[in-house]
Amino acid sequence: MTSEYTVAGIRTAIAPVLERLREGAAQREREREYAFEEVKALAAERITLTGIAEADGGAGGAVRDVADLVIAIARADSNVAQALRSSFLTANQVASRPDLPHRETTLRRLRDGDLFAGTANERTGGASGSVGTVIRRGSPSDDGWTVDGEKYYSTGGLYADWFTGSAKGEDGAVYGFTVPVDREGVERLDDFDAVGQRLTASGTTRLHGVRVGDDEVVVRDTSRLDSPWLGSFAQLYLAAIEAGIAAAALDDAARFARERARPIKHSSATRSSDDPYVRATVGEIAARAHAARSVVLVAAEALEATRDLTGAEARSAGAEASVAVAQTGVIAIESALRASELLFDVAGGSITDRALGFDRHWRNARTVANHNPRQWKAAVAGAYRITGEEPPTTGLF
């Protein structure tokens, strides 16, 4: 299949969209306005075809190209990058798993520019990861299913065309399902209210007797996979967002020092841009942003190296890549937090004006970091290096 899209072509086409996102990010944050038009424009350029083989109608490219694209989107607006996470995770499954159930159907939707939301998360009082949503078979004369339940952290839900979730069947098995967001019984709420990443549309999705067909359901069982660390790309994605936030902090620090800041009274410089301490601060921010981006791209290459492997070789490479991603998460998180803190050292009181919205960088970095504790990532990496103990296969590594 010949594709009209390329990695370079997509990046060129979305450049003006990303600039609009960057310019409006602070205002959207203040006024709680979603970037519906810009996200629609990104989808129209088929961004999620990046990393999917040209033979499948994709744009080609490797995991590194996907990670670099995510960093660029997050640099413009990390809320949008987060909102697109489920779409890119869906695309990665297509790219990495020839055996993916309903693969051709999902491919067609991606080629059409459709966006996806999804979550297994619930607020039912059970342990994290427990599933209270239920899926039931219809009557003997009805080959469909019915889903009832409530999901939270439905990232990208207000932007999406499709919703993917998990539910427990009467047989005790966990099933995955994918339905259109406008199907009867699907209710999307805009109730996400964290300190950061406020515009990721990560609120509640309620499922009231939602009808699901056989071709929209799959049993979730990764126990027979040669490499069971399917969550590594999802974690790399979060690290890429952190790298984008660090880059955004650098952009704002350099711009403010160059255009707005005044030197402190006892500075030896007549312009803040010439002050050695301002330069040192911006330089450290740049170093943090560089470190975050570098480790993300290196980890992306480690994930790419696991493709097409089988058996023991696949498991060994998968474990190594999972640890590389965990290590990346530690560095990317700490780099973004430090970069967004140092931003305020570039100037005096004026840089704290709420209209600038610079505090959003730290709040966003902090909120992304809370998806999975970096202490666990470090501990898992340490155990692997000391004893060879494999990472957990929970999807968080």
Residue 209 lies in a domain: yes
Q: Show which of 114, 148, 182 is a domain's final residue.
A: 114
| Total structural domains within the chain | 3
State the CATH number of the domain containing residue 273: 1.20.140.10
Say which amino acid occupies 139.
S
Mean pLDDT value of segment 234-239:
98
- Would residue 149 count as lying in a domain? yes
Q: What is the pLDDT of residues 352-383, one digit of tens each?
A: 999 999 999 999 999 999 988 999 999 999 99
- Nearest Cα residue to 207 out of 186, 189, 188, 190: 186
Tell me, yes or no, whether 61 and 168 share the same domain: no
In a domain, 122, yes or no: no
pLDDT greater than 70 at residue 230: yes
- 396 falls within a domain: no
Give the pTM. 0.96
pLDDT for the residue numbered 348: 84
pLDDT averaged over every residue in the chain: 94
242 and 377, same structural domain? Answer: yes
Determine what percent of the chain is predicted with pLDDT higher than 90: 83
Same domain, 11 and 90: yes
Cβ neighbours, 10 Å, residue 185: 15
159 and 291: one domain?
no
Is 128 inside a domain boundary? no
Strands 145-151 and 162-169, bridge-based pairing: unpaired
Q: Is the pLDDT of residue 168 over 90?
A: yes
Q: Which residues of 218-240 are buried (b: 16+ CB within 10 A; e: fewer)?
A: eeeeeeeeebbbbbbbbbbbbbb
From residue 215, alpha-carbon distances to 180, 207, 370 in Å are: 13, 18, 35
pLDDT higher than 70, residue 264: no
If asked whether residues 307 and 373 sit together in one domain, one would say yes
> Does any domain span residue 344?
yes
Task: Please compute the mean of the pLDDT values over residues 242-246 and round it to a whole number.
Answer: 98
pLDDT in tens, 29-58: 999 999 999 999 999 999 999 999 999 999
Q: What are phi and psi of 219, to 5 degrees?
A: -75, 130
Same domain, 239 and 194: no
> Which of 86, 114, 142 corresponds to the end of one domain?
114
Residue 50 counted as domain residue: yes
> Could you give the angle at the alpha carbon of 357 between the alpha carbons of 43 and 194, nearest 5°?
70
CATH code of the domain in which 81 resides: 1.10.540.10
Tell me, yes or no, whether 19 and 101 share the same domain: yes
Give residue 109's pLDDT.
Answer: 98
Q: Are residues 55 and 104 in the same domain?
A: yes
pLDDT tops 80 at residue 268: no
pLDDT given at position 106: 97
Q: Which domain holds residue 78?
A: 7-114
Final residue before a domain boundary, out of 165, 185, 219? 219
pLDDT band at 162 (very low <50, low <70, confident <90, very high): very high
Per-residue tokens: 329: 């998460």
Q: Residue 142: its pLDDT value, please? A: 74
Same domain, 247 and 340: yes
What CATH code is carried by the domain that includes residue 159? 2.40.110.10
Query: Is residue 164 a part of any domain in this protein?
Result: yes
215 and 237 in a single domain? The answer is no
With 90 as the cut, is the pLDDT of residue 139 above it?
no
Higher-confidence position of 165 and 2: 165
Is residue 196 domain-shared with residue 329, that is, in the same domain? no
Do 258 and 383 share a domain, yes or no? yes
